[in-house]
Structure formats: C-alpha cells, structure tokens
Amino acid sequence: MDLKSLGGTVRSLVDTASDGVGKLLDDFNDALPTMRALGFTVSSFRLNMALPPELLLTLVASVNTINVGRIKELIQKNAEKKLLVTVLKALEAAYHVKEQLGDATFEEIRMDITLGLSPKIAVNFGPEAKEAKAA
C-alpha cells in the first residue's frame, strides 16, 4: 500500500467517525430543549479531532430545578430518543445517590457529556451550599 492509498484510507476512517459523531450531535441537539426545560445550560463545548473524534459538553443547572418525577415522565415520553433517555437516566441515578448523602447540600449539578464512539455521561453535584460552608 502506497502513501497515497494509505491517506485515502485514513480520510475514509475520519469521515466515517465524523459521520458517527455528527449523528450523536444531532441526537444531542434534539435532547437540548428537554435539558433546557429542566434548567440546564451548556457551559462548555470542546471538540477533539482524533480517531475517533469526540465532542465534550458540560451542562450546568441549579440543584433546585431537578424534579425526579419530571425526569421519570420525560424518560417515558421520549423512550425512542436513546441519547436523551441515557442522559436522563444518568441524572436520575445520580440524584438518588445524592439523596443517600443525607445532610449534604449542593448548589449546582453538572453533567459532563462525551459524544464519541462510546458516549459517556458523568453527573456531579457541587459546590457546597453557602449555608453548609458557614456551619
């Protein structure tokens, strides 16, 4: 295989990977209105052009806007939207774990979402509420 042929193969791989990430980005754009309705805003966006390419997004909201009942409704209502349901289920699971922390209070919730060949979602609560810091 010569260099020209290898370059064409690499370009084809990049195009295929980019198409996959593009589909995930389309799915995320479909999910964004629902996440905004839950009080989330996009606080950062990053694109890693690698093999495979990745899009990294961070959504932030006040913990006070989270309503587990509403999340469950949205999961049922949007069952065909796999990415949205995955994000909502991660949010729901993290909320239930947070409830087990008892007295811990937090001001915000942050979701770090990686869209790529293998999507990843991390949900973080913090920083501690001002009242808790004063105590």
- Determine the pLDDT at residue 39: 92
- Determine the pLDDT at residue 129: 42
- Determine the pLDDT at residue 118: 78
What type of residue is 93?
Answer: A
- Determine the pLDDT at residue 134: 46
**Can you say whether the dihedral through the CA atoms of 102, 103, 108, 112 is positive or negative?**
negative
Could you report the average pLDDT of every consecutive run of 10 residues in the chain (135 residues)?
Answer: 50 60 78 92 83 84 89 94 92 88 81 84 73 45
Q: Global pTM?
A: 0.73
Cα–Cα dist 75/48, whole Å: 29
- Determine the pLDDT at residue 54: 81
- Determine the pLDDT at residue 46: 85
What type of residue is 23?
Answer: K
What type of residue is 15?
Answer: D
What residue has token string 């961070």? Answer: 58
- Determine the pLDDT at residue 48: 78
